[in-house]
Amino acid sequence: MATILDGKAHAEQMLAEVRAGVEARLAQGLRAPCLAVVLVGEDPASQVYVRGKVKACADTGIRSLEHKLPVDTDQARLEALIEQLNSDAGVDGILVQLPLPKGLDAKAALHRIAPAKDVDGFHPVNQGLLLEGLPGHRPCTPSAVMHMLKAYGVPLKGTRAVVLGRSEIVGKPMALLLLEEHATVTIAHSRTVDLPGLCREADLLVAAVGRPGLVEGSWIKPGAVVVDVGINRVEDVALGERIFAAEPRKLETLKTKGGVLCGDVRYGEALEVAGAITPVPGGVGPLTIAGLMQNTLRASQL
Ligand code: GUN
């Protein structure tokens, strides 16, 4: 039976460290760090994520400023707000919640954010600094996953790591951070030949593709460490019957509530094979927010 990597508990520990850092600033007579959160439109999932971020700010003593813009906001208006926040000395971090409504150019907006305030770590300057191994804001999810893997003493040096997914938010930066710790890293994706065979070679498997239950138990090397970044809502009972065969309680929830959250990995099957695994929910999700709080505190110290 796999060890559960308790992302929620680890995130609490990270948040406690941030809280201590904020208190140390206040004790020196400095102001609290300040995060500006920009939400365009009313996407329900984004509203939930933003609420979580604002609550984490309150819990750690970080000041948050919410900027809610209507769904029909144009690019110029969004970029003007970003410029205004860039030049506001009272704002340390700027986060533009993604995805943006159709018609807005997310990349162009993210490129407008001053790199020092880019607490998501999505600006090309921060991505370049990561590539070069120089200090800069690292994307929150991969950096918090690394923080947790180190805390659990997961061996990284020389380990064979497979990262499933090549997004700029998770897959690519995750691969670079693992490389920095001397892992031998392969990035796999939808065009990879023999995905199951490749995954079976991994001592560390990070799944970040947003495909519910893609990774089967038989894809996992016995004893491997599995990090499941996927957060997917499944409503299709036929799909649920396939991917939750080893998780009767999830299937029951799906049938009674009409939907259930799950990762990219078939958790019930993986538990029997893996050495350690993150659950969904309660694994990587809380870590992402903790990573954001860490970045915001760091931004206030620049
Ligand atoms: N939407 C989903 N994940 C993220 C994230 O990490 N940052 C932002 N800004 N938007 C997101």
CATH number, position 62: 3.40.50.10860
| 60, 145: one domain | no
Residue where a domain terminates, one of 114, 148, 167: 114
* Ligand 1 proximity of 140 Cβ (cutoff 6 Å): yes
Residue where a domain terminates, one of 79, 114, 149: 114
Residues forming a β-bridge with 188? 164
Can you give the pTM of this predicted structure? 0.94
For the stretch 100-141, pLDDT in tens is 999 999 999 999 999 999 999 999 999 999 999 999 999 999
- The structural domain count of the chain equals 2
Model confidence band, residue 1 (pLDDT cutoffs 50, 70, 90): confident
For residue 169, which atom of ligand 1 is closest to its CA? 6
| 173, 277: one domain | yes
Query: Does the pLDDT at position 273 exceed 90?
Result: yes
For ligand 1, atom 9, which residue shows the shortest CA distance?
97
| 101, 169: one domain | no
For the stretch 175-213, pLDDT in tens is 999 999 999 999 999 999 999 999 999 999 999 999 999
CATH number at residue 147: 3.40.50.720
One-letter amino acid of 3: T
For residue 95, which atom of ligand 1 is closest to its CA? 9
**Which token pair is 289?**
């927010």
199: number of CA atoms within 13 Å, CB side?
24
**139 Ramachandran zone, left/alpha/beta (phi>0; psi -120 to 50):** beta
* Ligand 1 proximity of 264 Cβ (cutoff 6 Å): no
Its domain, for residue 55, covers: 30-114
For ligand 1, atom 11, which residue shows the shortest CA distance?
98
Cβ contacts of 124 within 8 Å, gap of 6 or more: 111
